[in-house]
Structure 1
C-alpha cells in the first residue's frame, strides 16, 4: 500500500477565502434562477405555470443525470492544473453566459412559444454550467485539509460568500426590479447582465486563487460507475446525511419557488421589501457562522445541525401569521431566524460530507471526492426540481392568472402558496431532524482511523 499523502492541518486564510469566493457566483446563479425563474416565466414571459415548472423540473433531472459522470471524470482528470480547476474554468464561462441568456432573450422573441423554447435552452445551458463548476468545486475541501475542524472553518468562509451572493440575487435583484419596473422585460435583462458579470468574476477568481491547494492522487481505480456508486451505497454515514439533505432541501426549494408570489400577490408587498429581509438574513448568517462552528466543536456537528434545522422549522411556521401589509420588522425578524438556519445547514452539512469522504478514503484507499460531490449535487438538484414543479402545478390547478404581476389571490391560490411556504418545509424539516438523530460519525472515530492507517503504512 502507498504511504498516505503528507497531512495538511491549518490552511492560510488566503487559500480558504480564494476557494470560498467562487461560492458568491454560484449563489447568484442558483438563487437568481431559483428565486426569480418561475415568477419571471409566468408573470413576465406569459408561460403557463405548469409548463414553466415543468421546464425547471426537466432541466434539473438532466442535471441529476450528468452530475455522477462529471464527478467521476474530475476524479480521474490529470493535468498540470490539478484534477478540479480545468472543470471549474469551463463551468465558470458557461454559468455566466447562461444567466445572461435566460434573463435577456432577444427582442424578436415575442410569443409564448418562442420564449418557452429560449427559456428551455438557457436553462439547459445553466444546468451544464452549474454542474461543471459546482461538482468539482465541492469536491475540493476534502483533499485540501485533513483537519476535522478546519473543514468547518473552510465552509464558514464559504457561507460568507454564499450569504452575500444570495443577498444580491434573492434580495437586491428584486429591489432593482422594483426600481426599474418589475413588469418590464428590460429590467430582467439588466439583472442578467449584472448577475452574469459577477458570476464570471468570482468563479474565475477561484480558478486563479486555488492553484496552491493540495490535490491528492485518486489511488487505485474502481472500474465503472456501478463500482463507484456501490462504494457510496455501502457508506452508511453518507446515506444518512444525504437523506437528511434531501428532506431539508425539498422544503427549502418549495419555499423558494413560492416566495415572490406570496410576497407580491398574497401579502401585497413590493419586491423592495426583500432588501430588508435579505439584509437581515445575510447579517444573521455571517454573524452566527463562527458561533455555530464553536458550538459544533463543543457539542458536536450533529447537535449544531439540529439547532439550525429547528430554526428553519420555526421560520416556516411563522408564515402562517403573515397577512397583507405585513410590517417590515416582522420580515426582518424572520430574516434573522432563517439566517441561523441557512448558515448551519451549509457549514455543518458540507463539513460532515468532507468528514465522510475522508472516512471512506481511509477505509478503501480510493479518493472519490468528485463522485461524492456529484451524488450530493444530484440530491440537491432533485430537491430543486421538486419545488417549482409542485408549486407550478398547484398554481395552475388553483387557477392563478399568468402574465399579470398583480394577479388576485383566491383562497385556493393562497393554499397553493402556503404549500410551499409552510406545509412542505415544516414536514420535511421535521423528517430531516429525525433522520439526523441517527448520524454517528465523530472526530474520535476519524482520529482512530487515521492512527490505524499510519500503523499500516509504517
Structure 2
C-alpha cells in the first residue's frame, strides 16, 4: 500500500501548471524527433551515397529500416497503454519508463551510424536499431499532451512549444553540417553525428523530467486494472483489431490522410534537394543544400505565428496557408532551373525562406490537431486509447517515409544518375537534370496538393472540440443521451462520422469488447 501511495505521489503523476517554460520542457524531445526526421529525409540518403553505395541501396536502407520500425510501432503504443500493470510502469510511469530506456540506448547507438563504411548492411542494421529506439521514445511521449491536460489552449501551448523546438532541431541539424561542409572537413559527417548525439540526449532527458502522466486516481487505477490479461496471440489480435477500429473515427481518417500526404511530400523535397541543387543549379557547391536547409531556423518564427493562428483561425486555415506556400515555392525552384540563372544563391535563399515557413506550418498543424483526436475516440468508445492512435500515426508515417526515400533512389537509378559522385552543373547531362527536376517537383506538389484538397473538409477545431468536451463531461456525469442538444448532436456526428445513437456505448458493451480475444 505504501509503495502504491508513493507511486501515486511521485513527480511522474503530479500535474503542474502548464506555461511556456513547461511547454518548452515538454517540447525538447522534438529537438531529437524533428531533427532525426530531417536527418532521415535530408542527410542519410546523400551520406550513404557519398560512401559509394548506389541510390537504390541508399534508399533501401531507410526504406527497409522504416518498415521494420513501422511493424514495431504498430504494437508499441498498445504496450505502453497497458504497461502500468508492470512494476516498472508503476514506478517510472507507463510512458516515462520507455522514454528513459530509449534515451540511454540512443546515446550508445546513434554515433555508430556516422562511421564510414562501404557495406550497406552495416548502415541498415544500425539504422534499424536507431529507428526502434526512437520509436520507443516518441510513441509514449506523443501521448503526453492528452494525459497532461484536457484544455484546448493548454494543449496548443504544449504542441506549439513542441513544434518550435522541432523547427530549432531542424535548423541545428543542417546548420552544423553546413558549417563543417563549408570548412571542407573530411570527417564532417562523423563529427556532426557526435554533436547531434550530445544535443539530442540532453533534449530527451530534459523532456523526460519536465512532463507527467495522468494522475493515478482511484477510479483511473481501477479502470487500468480492469483491462483483461491477454496471451501474446490474444494481445496481437486485439491490438490489430483496435488499430483497424481507429478508422471508424472520421476525424482521424481525414487527419491521417492530410498528415501522411503532406509529410511524404516534404520527404521528397528533403531527399531530392541536395541532388537537385548540386546537379542542376548553375555554380552550386556541395555545402549550398545544407545552407538552404539551415534556413529552417525561420520556421521557429513561423511556428510561433502558427500557434496564435491555430487558436484564432483553426487548423483548416493553417493547412491552406502552409500547403499553398509550399506549392508556390516548388514552382520557384523549377523556374530558377529553367532560366539557368547565373549566381542564383540569393534567389534560392528567398525561395527557401518561404518554403521553410510553409514547412514549419505543415509540421506544426497535424501535431497540434493530434491531441484532440483521442477525445473524438473517447466519445465513440469510452476508452483512453491515445497510445493506440499515436502508434497508428507512427506506423503509417514511417511506412510512407520509407516509400518516399526508396522511390527517389530507384528513380534516380532509372534516369541514369551516377551514385558515386554529386556532379557539378555543366557535367551532368541535361536529360539527367530533367529527370532529377521531375522527381524533385512532381512528388511534393502532387502530394501536398492532395492534402490541401482533403483539409478543406476537416471540421475539428477549437469550437467543435469545446462542444465535444462538454458533451463528454455531461455524459460522464450521468447525463442522458436522449437529452442531447441538436447542435451538439450535429457536431458529434460530423467529428465521429457515426450516428449519435452509436456513440458513448453502454459500459457492459464496452467491457465485452475489451474482453474479446
Distance 1:230 1:40, change over 3 A: closer
Q: Does 1:269 align with 2:275?
A: no
| TM-score (norm. length: structure 2) | 0.79
- Residue pair 1:257, 1:420 contacting (<8 A) in 2 also: no
Query: Is 1:152–1:348's contact at 8 Å kept on the other side of the alignment?
Result: no
Paired position in structure 2 for 1:104:
115
Q: How big is the alpha-carbon RMSD for the aligned residues of Structure 1 and Structure 2? A: 2.4
- Residue equivalent to 2:486: none
Selected match of 2:257 from 243, 251, 259: 243
Pick the aligned partner of 2:345 from 295, 307, 328: 328
The 5 A counterparts of 1:1-40 are: 11-40=18-47
Name the CA distance, whole Å, in 2 between partners of 1:446 and 1:133. 28
* 1:87-142 Cα distance to aligned partner (Å, 9 max, x none): 1122223334333111114xxx5xx3xx2121111111121112111111111112
1:80 paired with 2:91, answer yes
Q: Equivalent of 1:349, from 366, 369, 375? A: 366
| Segment drifting more, 26-35 vs 126-135 | 26-35
Q: Distance in 1 between matches of 2:107 and 2:347?
A: 35
- SS of the residue corresponding to residue 464 of structure 2 reads helix
CA-to-aligned-CA distance 1:162-181 (integer Å, 9 cap, x gap):
11111121343133123134
Q: 2:177 aligns with which of 173, 176, 191?
A: 173
Structure 1: where are the runs of 5+ without partners?
1-5
Q: CA deviation at 1:369?
A: 1.2
Structure 1 residue 264, shift from structure 2 partner: 2.0
Deviation at 1:376, TM superposition (A): 1.0
CA contact (8 A) 2:170 2:294 kept: no
Q: C-alpha displacement at 1:388, in angstroms?
A: 1.5
Q: Match for residue 194 of structure 1?
A: 195
CA spacing shift, 1:119–1:295, aligned 2, 3 Å: same
Q: Pick from 130, 133, 139: which aligns with 1:135?
A: 139
Which of 304, 313, 317 aligns to 1:290? It is 304
CA distance in 1, matches of 2:372, 2:183: 45
2:183 counterpart SS class: helix
Change (3 A) 1:51 1:206: same
Q: What is the number of equivalent residue pairs in this alignment? A: 439
Q: Equivalents in 2 of 1:65, 1:450: separation in Å?
A: 33
Range moving further from structure 2, 225-234 or 70-79: 225-234
Query: Are 1:68 and 2:74 matched, yes or no?
Result: yes
Give runs of aligned pairs for residues 203-214 of structure 1, distance below 5 A. Answer: 203-210=204-211, 212=212, 214=214
2:378 aligns with 361
User: Is the Cα–Cα contact under 8 Å of residues 27 and 162 in structure 2 kept in the other structure?
Assistant: yes
Contact 1:64 1:378 (C-alpha < 8 Å) held by counterparts: yes
**Considering only CA atoms, is the larger Rg found in Structure 1 or Structure 2?**
2
Contact kept, 8 Å, 2:31 with 2:168, in 1: the verdict is yes
Q: Please name the residue that 1:230 is paired with.
A: 244
Alignment map for 1:375-390 (pairs within 5 Å): 375-390=392-407
Number of the residue aligned with 1:453: 472
* 1:370 aligned residue (340, 364, 387): 387
After TM superposition, the runs of 4+ consecutive aligned structure 1 residues lying more than 6 A away are none
Q: TM-score, normalised by structure 1?
A: 0.89
Shift of 1:238: 0.3
Given candidates 448, 453, 459, the residue that maps to 1:440 is 459
Distance 2:347 2:296 in 1: 13
Give the 3 Å change call, closer, same or farther, for CA 335–9 of structure 1 in structure 2. farther
The answer to whether the 8 A contact 1:95-1:130 is kept is: yes
C-alpha distance 274-213 of structure 1, shift in aligned 2 (>3 A) = farther
Instruction: Classify the secondary structure of the residue corresponding to 1:454.
Output: helix
Instruction: Provide structure 2 residue ranges, at least 5 long, that are not aligned to the other structure.
Output: 1-12, 85-89, 229-234, 478-517
TM-aligned CA distance change 1:200 to 1:420, over 3 Å: farther
